[in-house]
Amino acid sequence: MVETIQWTTQGVVMLDQTRLPRETVFVTCRDYREVAQAIRGMVIRGAPAIGVAAAMGMALGAAGADPASLDAEMDHAAETLAATRPTAVNLFWAIERMKELYGRLRGRPVEEIRAALEAEAREMYRQDIAINQAMGRHGAGLVPDGKTVLTHCNAGALATAGFGTALGVIRAAVAAGKKIDVFAGETRPFLQGARLTAWELMQDGIPTTLITDNMAGHFLKSGRIGCVIVGADRIAGNGDVANKIGTYSVAVLARENGVPFYVAAPISTLDLSLASGDAIPIEQRPAAEVTHLFGVAVAPEGVAVENPAFDVTPARYVSAIVTERGVARAPYSESLRKLVVG
């Protein structure tokens, strides 16, 4: 299994996802500013992985500060990390969890505070893997045996502390003996599907076929695809799902062709404070991601560009949402709340 992120005595070590699959290179972040830089620069990406990185960044915030400046440093760490990427709510969830712990510890000896924040960040890493495995157990039954599963972007081990959300469900289905293969949409413009999902699944020996995003409709119509499974960056209270740009098109095409469309996401991806997906902030990324491929221009200079990194799939297209606490189905305003309250 790939190690996406690790807490070490040298700092927070991340597998550089901008360089996969050509190179397996690790980046060491020694303070929260470097962690923020890594999140913004997509060295680490994927909602749960960003959350774990932010928690570790907050722990580094305490590690670097002297007692007199600890309060100010922790505030600055939280602000800096929160300003990296706006859509995945796991980032803000993780920062809040670390801030709450710090608030409870304020006034204690600095060494004790540092140790507790480090222990919490490491615990969040461990919990994320366990959560993904639980999601796999709940979701594996949804995957039809002997069929192809279509996924979009990368919701795998690389997008989490390990095992993955959508790819975790696929891994659990394979482990349960189901004969499935995966179609990975390449996911323009950042190519998470081509560069990361295909790489990760091939490492596990799960049969994987790469398709370009505009082939999704053709294959959904063909009858080969048994279901679609994707991850999520934020899910509103009514079940609307923000995920990688292109997810909405896949969901509509899945519905048109009678193919179930599943979302796998931890409870920390739910944002029940939002009534609908209309309120989810959508990150706009640099035009160069669209106009250039690996530094080479593929569009005329000066062309106008839009580059929203995420879209929102209305809840009516979502057949089920798999979480670590079970599977939610429509009406999501009731089922999601029930999962959260317990």
Catalytic residues: 233
Strand partners, 210: 184
Name which position in 14, 47, 55, 312 contacts ligand MRU (CB under 6 A): 47
Residue number with CB closer to ligand MRU (113 or 208): 208
Residue number with CB closer to ligand MRU (160 or 323): 160
Binning the chain into helix, strand and coil, the percentages to the nearest 5 are 45, 20, 35
Name which position in 20, 36, 48, 78 contacts ligand MRU (CB under 6 A): 48
Q: How far apart are CA 197 and CA 147, in angstroms?
A: 18
244 sits near ligand MRU (criterion: CB under 6 A): yes
4 sits near ligand MRU (criterion: CB under 6 A): no
Give the full edge-to-edge strand order of the sheet including 270-271: 270-271, 234-236, 241-244, 310-313
Name which position in 11, 46, 185, 226 contacts ligand MRU (CB under 6 A): 46
160 sits near ligand MRU (criterion: CB under 6 A): yes
Q: Tell me the closest approach of the beta carbon of residue 265 to ligand MRU, in angstroms.
A: 7
319 in Cβ contact with 239 (< 8 Å):
no
- The gap from C-alpha 18 to its chain's centroid, in whole angstroms, comes to 15
Q: What is the DSSP string of 221-261?
A: HTT-EEEEEE--SEEETT--EEEETTHHHHHHHHHHTT--E
- Residue 210, both tokens: 């790469």
135 sits near ligand MRU (criterion: CB under 6 A): no
Q: Which of 242, 244, 265 is nearest to 336 (CA)?
A: 265
Asked if the bond preceding 260 is cis, omega within 30° of 0, the reply is no
Residue number with CB closer to ligand MRU (149 or 155): 155
Give how many residues touch ligand MRU by CB under 6 A.
18
| One-letter identity of residue 314 | P
| One-letter identity of residue 171 | R
| One-letter identity of residue 37 | Q
Name which position in 65, 81, 88, 95 contacts ligand MRU (CB under 6 A): 88
Residue number with CB closer to ligand MRU (114 or 285): 285
- Residue 177, both tokens: 């003996």
Which residue has the closest beta carbon to ligand MRU? 231
Residue number with CB closer to ligand MRU (102 or 261): 261
153 sits near ligand MRU (criterion: CB under 6 A): yes
Name which position in 4, 208, 243, 323 contacts ligand MRU (CB under 6 A): 243
Strand partners, 12: 7, 29
192 sits near ligand MRU (criterion: CB under 6 A): yes
Residue 23 contacts by C-beta under 8 Å, 6 or more apart in sequence? 16
231 sits near ligand MRU (criterion: CB under 6 A): yes
Asked if the bond preceding 189 is cis, omega within 30° of 0, the reply is yes
Interface region with ligand MRU, contact rule CB under 6 A, candidates 95-103, 120-128, 140-148, 155-163: 155-163
Positions touching ligand MRU (CB under 6 A) are 45-48, 88, 153, 155, 159-160, 165, 192, 230-233, 243-244, 309
